[in-house]
Amino acid sequence: MQSIDILQWIKALESKYDVDQWVIKNVHIWPIIRIRLYYKCMYEQTELKPATSSRAISSILKNHLNFIKASIYDKKNSGSAKKKGGALLLSNGVSYYKTSSGCYYDKFCDPVIETLKKENIHSHILTPLHEYKYPRFSQGSFIQPFLDFNKISYYRYLLTHREKDIHFRDELQQFIDEVNSVWTFKNAYTLKDILKDVYYIYSASRTFKSYLKTFKPSMAFSVCYYSANAMALNLACRELNIPSVDIQHGVQFDAHIAYGHWTKVPQTGYAALPRYFWCWSQDEADVINEWNEQLTKHHQAVITGNLWLEQWRTEAYEWLKPAPGTVERLENKRAGKFNILITLQPIFSSPKDLAILLECIKNSKPDWQWWIRLHPLMLDKKEQIKTLFSEHSTARIEVEDASSTELFTLLSKMDAHITHSSATVLEALEFGIPSIVFSPMGKALYERKINNRQMFFSNQFEDILNHLELLQEGRLKIALNHKRADGELIEEAAHCS
């Protein structure tokens, strides 16, 4: 199944079963099932496996020593609960830009913090994962050790769970049986899989509830609301009547499992979903508005623009300038060439997924420079990607600078962009850079923009090469009518949350 087929199949299941009545621990669990099942199906048919934490004693000790080290060396930015109110932000733990001064700037949370600061709203970032990047640009807390400790509660919930307490267990089992009749998973989909997801998120919500009670924020933000931790934060916010906000971090069109086509939503909304969706443009807001008409009290879209991009464009932000030598190095490599950026994605990076790109590069013109950019979650695969592309072509290929340079600095030097379905399409459009998507998923996600001639779709390498030649010759243009949000919208969003 293609990703779009999986989405349509799950939507059909949503229509067939009374999913809006499925409740465990007073939590409507369908959002958890819907999103986790989608990614289980996606991972099942790719070579990429979900990230897992090592249980080795040596790894656990190393992680906690790194936590202690980061907390000590970055003490000035470590959290303090003395100042109450303001905003609490949950980072995704991977989206950083290293400033010229050496600080780690969160590309999604820090622009929100700077925006709220103008409204005299103070903020605090919670950072998950065992990465411990420091020095941090803003004040915050490393929280992964506490989320790890939370697993004690998670296992307690699992061990004390009684199936007879699930009043809809017969219908749920019927649902599980239907899933297994369509998918032959390596490990069959079971009730235990669902309970693991539900109880992890529920138990993590207890940890976030503790943070919310400590910091007493007036609002809480998350990046990628459909991650387990962000859903847990949303649950805790709903329980304490604190507005929760999803910060747009990528594509969120109709064909996205987490944003489009929620057909069965209880009258009180889903607690695992955010109260507000901060969107880059009207296009993304429309996706939310298509299903939340009767639910604006619980789920509402607000247009803020791409705050990270807006700050990058503002020369006043000195810390966002590229490190010395970066621009000169890029200029030297791109000079006299037609420069094409390829943005890769973790779940679509197998040799089969990349075959069309390899053919394009192999058959490309000698004056074309190919910039291969890895997603932050793929950096450990850098050497494999280098080998894969170098084995299939002698054309000019750049991976290091393409992956390490801040995206907007890189985009400003490109002539064209190709991707499976990356949200870089939207950011490229802001720079007037034409994008080509080559997957059915990309076509479904960006159908409106393709129809509006703001980008192109092609699933044949010969056609992609033809598009690139026409772009190089200036005989093919994209429509540039993407409206940027103004300051009034951003100010309004800060207050309405």
Q: What is the CATH number of the domain that holds 112?
A: 3.40.50
Tell me how far CA of residue 146 lies from CA of 56, 106, 124, 127, in angstroms: 18, 21, 17, 11
pLDDT value, residue 487: 46
Residue 483 DSSP code: P
- Secondary structure element (H or E) that encloses residue 189, with its range: none
407 and 291 belong to one structural domain: no
Contact 48, 346 (CB under 8 A): yes
122 and 238 belong to one structural domain: yes
Q: How long a stretch of residues is the chain?
A: 497
128 and 257 belong to one structural domain: yes
Please report whether residue 16 resides in a domain.
no
Mapping DSSP to helix (H, G, I), strand (E, B) and coil, where does residue 32 land? helix
299 and 368 belong to one structural domain: no
- In the listed set 275, 303, 321, which residue is the last one of a domain according to the structure? 321
Mean pLDDT by 10 residues, the chain (497 residues): 88 97 95 95 72 66 92 85 83 90 92 92 94 93 92 86 86 96 88 94 96 95 97 98 96 91 94 97 93 90 92 73 83 94 92 93 94 91 89 82 92 96 94 96 92 95 97 91 47 52
152 and 112 belong to one structural domain: yes
Instruction: Round to whole Å and give the CA distance between 346 and 420.
Output: 11
Please report whether residue 304 resides in a domain.
yes
Please report whether residue 2 resides in a domain.
no
Tokens matching residue 65: 């020593």
274 and 336 belong to one structural domain: no
Closest CA to 454 of 473, 430, 438: 430
309 and 358 belong to one structural domain: no
398 and 266 belong to one structural domain: no
Q: What's the total number of domains in the chain?
A: 2
Which residues are CB-contacts of 11 (< 8 A; sequence separation ≥ 6)? 261, 263
- Would you say the C-alpha torsion 291, 259, 306, 331 has a positive or negative sign? negative
Please report whether residue 195 resides in a domain.
yes
- Kindly tell me the burial class for residue 8, based on how many C-beta atoms sit within 10 Å of its own C-beta (0-12, 13-18, 19 or more): middle
423 and 292 belong to one structural domain: no
Contact 403, 379 (CB under 8 A): yes
CATH code, domain carrying 362: 3.40.50.12580
Q: Outline where DSSP puts E strands in 327-367.
A: 338-343
289 and 339 belong to one structural domain: no
- Cis before 135 (ω within 30): yes
Tokens matching residue 361: 């590069």
Contact 202, 232 (CB under 8 A): yes
- In the listed set 321, 337, 356, which residue is the last one of a domain according to the structure? 321
388 and 433 belong to one structural domain: yes
Which residues are CB-contacts of 241 (< 8 A; sequence separation ≥ 6)? none
Please report whether residue 34 resides in a domain.
no
| Domain limits for position 417 | 326-473
Please report whether residue 273 resides in a domain.
yes
Please report whether residue 497 resides in a domain.
no
Please report whether residue 194 resides in a domain.
yes
- In the listed set 285, 302, 321, which residue is the last one of a domain according to the structure? 321
Q: Which residue bears the tokens 């056609």?
A: 463
307 and 344 belong to one structural domain: no
Contact 496, 276 (CB under 8 A): yes
Instruction: Round to whole Å and give the CA distance between 297 and 287.
Output: 17
Which residues are CB-contacts of 313 (< 8 A; sequence separation ≥ 6)? none
